Structure 1
Amino acid sequence: MTRRLDHTTRQSIAKKMREGVRPDVLAREYGVTVRTVYRCAQFMREIQIERGSRTETVVCRVSPADLALFDEKLQEAGVRNRSEALRNVIRNVGGMAAPDAELAEALLAMKGALNKVGNNVSQIARRMNDAKNRGQALPFSETDHTEIRHLAGMVLDFADEVALMADGRRSTLELKVSDELKNLAKRGV
């Protein structure tokens, strides 16, 4: 004969399981099967979900400096509750987590230029190695040296453009997050 558990007992089993008590220990303690313990936990979780309770946990590791900066931004915006601020960011993620199409397009265009630069560098290295292996002087004229310097300048310019695009994206995201935090503060979170 199976034992019928009341609601309070089911809640107790589910709570202890969330706290980390092993199902086999709970089964012995309550005189039920391990399967019943799992069913109780699932049943109570479904009730929580139906009621709109918060059943999921989001874990994110950050550096102490990042967390201090986040807390500082919350304080500046007048937000008192870190958890509610994160829930609001999740609810209103909108375009913040979406890939930046403009940045992706610009990087794709730069990929072709970078491939050309890479090919040129390979040719220069091959010519230098050939000359070295033959014991000859480097086969570059003053014009070649100028072109090499120009090539190096292109690579540095490319790196600067990528950094500027990334900084622009970061600034845009910071503005969106700041706006959301201000909205939270207005609601008195």
Structure 2
Amino acid sequence: MTRRLDHTTRQSIAKKVREGVRPQVLAREYGVTVRTVYRCAQLMREIQVERGSRTEVIVCRVSPTDLAQFDAKLKEAGIRNRSEALRNVIRNTNGMAMPDADLAEALLSMKGALNKVGNNVTQIAKRMNHAKNQGQPLPFAEDDLLEMRHLARLVLDFADEADLMARGRRALLELEISDELRRMAERGV
């Protein structure tokens, strides 16, 4: 014989499921089947969704420094509620989370150039290994060594350029987020 559960009991079961209590434990505690526990959790979730309740949780790990900076920005903007601020950022991204087409194009062209440099380095390494295995002196003239130094400098320059582009994109995003936080404060969030 199955037991008929009232609404309050279903809510209690669903809450405990969300808190991480194992369905088997709840089934024994309430004298129902495990399937009933799952159905209670699903039913309560559907009711929450219908009512427009917040049912999803986003977890994001940040460093203490990042969190302190975020809280300082919120305080500066006059926003006291971190969760509401994050919900508003999610609602109002206005393309902030979209990839930067210019940055992507620049990185793609860098990838091609770095592939060419990588091929050259591989050829140099093959020649050096072959000479070493044969017991011969390195088959490079002074011009070859200069070219290798030039390639090394090129790789370092690419790395610096990529770093500058990433920093520029981050600075732009910080400005957009600061502007959005200011608008949220003006709306009274």
CA distance, structure 2, for counterparts of residue 128 and residue 31 of structure 1:
76
Look up the match of 1:105.
Answer: 105
Look up the match of 1:177.
Answer: 177
Instruction: State the secondary structure of the residue aligned to 1:83.
Output: helix
CA distance, structure 1, for counterparts of residue 133 and residue 22 of structure 2:
70
TM-superposed deviation, 1:157: 1.3
Distance 1:87 1:133, change over 3 A: same
Distance 1:140 1:82, change over 3 A: same
Map 1:75-114 to 2 at 5 A.
75-114=75-114
Look up the match of 1:74.
Answer: 74
Gapped runs of 5+ residues in structure 2?
A: none
Map 1:1-189 to 2 at 5 A.
2-189=2-189
CA distance, structure 2, for counterparts of residue 29 and residue 153 of structure 1:
69
Amino acid at match of 1:13: I
CA distance, structure 1, for counterparts of residue 42 and residue 65 of structure 2:
39
Gapped runs of 5+ residues in structure 1?
A: none
Amino acid at match of 2:183: N
CA distance, structure 2, for counterparts of residue 117 and residue 158 of structure 1:
11
Q: Which range is displaced more, 49-58 or 21-30? A: 21-30
TM-score for the superposition, normalised by structure 2? 0.85
CA distance, structure 1, for counterparts of residue 25 and residue 137 of structure 2:
81
CA RMSD of aligned residues (A): 2.3
TM-superposed deviation, 1:75: 1.9
